[in-house]
Structures are given as C-alpha cells and as structure tokens.
Amino acid sequence: MPERELERIMLDFYHQRFNILVCSTIIESGIDVPSANTIIIERADKFGLAQLHQLRGRVGRSHHRAYAYLLVPDKRVLTEDARKRLEAIESLEEPRGGLHPRLARSRNSRRG
C-alpha cells in the first residue's frame, strides 16, 4: 500500500470516520489510537510471545475497557510452543506497558 494511502486510512480511523480497521502486524509498530478497544488476532498461534504482548497492548490505552481475541485453530493441532505462548499471554489479566515479568520469564525459559 502506498505510504500516502496508509496515512490517510490511519488518520480516518484515528478520527473515527470508520470503526473497524483490518490490517497486518503494522499495528504492532506503535500506532496509537486511544479509542480502539478491541483487537482480533487471526492465527495467534503463529506469533511470538513478544509480538502477541505488543499487539495486545495496542488496545485499551484510554479509559475504555480492552478486549483481545486470539483466534487459533483447533487446540489439537497447535504445537507445544504455541500452546505455551497462548497460555502465557492469556494468564495476564490486562494489557500493560513493557514486558510483564511473568511473561518475560516464560519467554526466556523457551529460548534456552
């Protein structure tokens, strides 16, 4: 997508000219929309722990309650690492700035 078009779309979303933004992981790069309160992550099992935490933190940055829906295939086909990553991110009750200590320990234990 051309840079100008991306900028126009993000500004329109920021100014609430539309309510749903479908995007790639570009949202992970720090785009801040305080009114955004819900994120749906397709195939969350394919993301790393830090990515999931970063994406989850993109919502709920204002006085709005935040919701993060992590969509995954049937649990029987998840890899053991994917299952552990999803359990770790699920164990956090609300998005927080920075990497939560429990999340960091979980990520580091899988790195070896």
Beta-bridge mates of residue 15 = none
**And the tokens for 108?**
């580091």
Does the global pTM surpass 0.75? no
38-62 average pLDDT score = 84
Identify the band that residue 50 occupies on the pLDDT scale cut at 50, 70 and 90.
confident
- pLDDT above 90 covers a percentage of the chain that reads 12
- Is the per-residue pLDDT at 111 higher than 60? no
pLDDT at 105: 46
Report the C-alpha gap between 71 and 80 in whole angstroms: 16
Q: Residues 18-45, buried b or exposed e (16+ Cβ, 10 A)? A: eeeeeeeeebbeeeebeebbebebeebb
pLDDT at 89: 83
Question: Scanning the structure block, which residue is given the tokens 């500004």?
Answer: 11
